[in-house]
Every structure is written in C-alpha cells, then in structure tokens.
Chain A
Amino acid sequence: MSSDQLKLLLQIIKIIRLGIGLSKELNKSYDRSMQVLETAIAEDRDPTKEEWQELNSLIDTLHNKLQGE
C-alpha cells in the first residue's frame, strides 16, 4: 500500500469522527442503506430495482439539500 493510500486511510478515520456528531435523522438514511446491502449479501443477490431507487432517492435529497440555498 502506497503512502497516498495510507494517508487516505487516516483521513477516512477522521471522517468517521466527523460523522459521529451528525444528526441521528441524517445517519438513519445511511444505516438503512447498509441494512439493504447486508440483506442483499445475506441473500446472495444484487440490490433490487426498488432498493436502487430508494438509495438514489436519498442521494437526490441530500444532493438537493447541499445544492439548494
């Protein structure tokens, strides 16, 4: 692993710490995505069309929040 990748790893750790202080409401959506992924892995399948739509919808909401005034 290169020094750049090492730096990335350490920076990701810092991002985790940043995430700890975020609102529970926002983190819920991320937890939901992880739950979907975990279920898909357990059932040995790819995410369904509905699950993709759900994730895309969450991302759209956050993206619009960030881009909006």
Chain B
Amino acid sequence: MLQGFRTVLFNLIAILAVWLNDKFGIQLTEEMQTSLVVTILGIGNIILRFITKTPIFKKDEIAKSANKKYLILIPLLCLTTIGCTIFKAETPAQRYYALKSEYERLLIVAVGYKENCLNGALPDSCKDHVKYIRQADNSLYHAFDDADYFIETGANENLALAIVPISTGLQEFANYLTKINQE
C-alpha cells in the first residue's frame, strides 16, 4: 500500500490543479504545481520514514526496474480517465492493454490536430508538425506491433521489458502533442 503512496499523491495534486483551473479559473503555473508536489511529497516521505523500514528510493534489479518504470508511467497517464481505471490494472496484460488504450487516446489528439491543420484552422507550420507526428506514430505503431507477440505467447517478463521503450516513445509523443497544441 505504501509503495503506491507517491503515485496516488501525484495524481491527487494533478487532479486538484486541473479542477481548480476548470472550476474557478485559478491557474497554477508549472513552477507552483511542482513546488506544491515536491513540498507535499517531502512531508509524505518524512511521515513514511517513521512508519516503514524499507528505504523509499531503494533500487530493484534490472527486470524489476524496467517493470517499475513502466508502472510509473501508467498511473501518470491514468489521469485521463475518471475513476482512474488504468491505475487498477493488475496483470501485465491488463497494464499493457491500458498503455495501448493511452496510445489510442494520443492518436485521437493527433488526428484532431491533423484535421485542424488540413482545415486551415492552424498556421502553415502545422504541416511540419503533422509530418513529425506521423513519423512518431509509425515508430510507436510498430513497437506495439512487436510487443503484441508477447501478449500472444504469454511471455510476461519479455512484455515488461519491451514496454520500456514504448513508454518512452509515448512520453515523447505526448510531450510533442502538448507543445504544438500550445503554439
């Protein structure tokens, strides 16, 4: 339970920031949000030191670490759903399904951007962005395609390892989509 504490905390802060903005128009700058998260995390970690004997930032072996990296991304991405369904996923296949669903979500954003670009609703520079989005999508699409093999064969350990580069690719894809939608 304690291992999920940080993730839950980060999700709660993030949801609070979105809620404050949407309901009251209160905008927390990135710096403010970061400060808030770090402050609460620091207090939380101090409390945890009193109630647990396990080092909080202890590193695991490579396979577990790879799996953990993947697990960190899932709850972050889960912010996109009410009730945080992804966060509840337990088995590797369920988590992979959740990750693939988030890819679907990002594709929806990407298709929306492309359509706006084609409709002339965006500056001409959007064409270059669409080109990059297509390339990034192609890489992700094939990476998922390769990882699907491990789902079919039930090779969960291989699946966890294969997911690491996919997670990184998804992060970059999300970053890029955020950047161009702010222009």
Contacts and interface: CB of A to CB of B under 8 A. Distances in A.
Interface residues of A, number: 44
B138 to A, nearest CB: 7
Interface of A: 1, 3, 5-19, 21-23, 26-27, 29-30, 33-34, 36-38, 40-41, 46-47, 51-52, 55-56, 58-59, 62-63, 65-67
Query: DSSP class of B's interface residues: helix, strand, loop or mixed?
Result: helix
Contacts of A30: 101, 104-105, 108
Nearest to A49: B152
B108 A62 contact: yes
Determine which residue in B93, B98, B103, B107 has the highest number of CB atoms from chain A within 10 A of its CB, and name it: B107
Contact of A65 (B73, B105, B111, B151): B111
Given A10-B30, A17-B18, A41-B85, A63 B107 contact: yes
Nearest to A16: B80
Contact of B137 (A12, A21, A51, A67): A67
B65 interface: no
Contacts of A8: 73, 76, 171, 174-175
Given A9-B79, A37-B98, A66-B137, 4 more contacts: A13-B14, A13-B79, A17-B18, A55-B97
Interface in B96-119: 97-98, 100-101, 103-112, 114
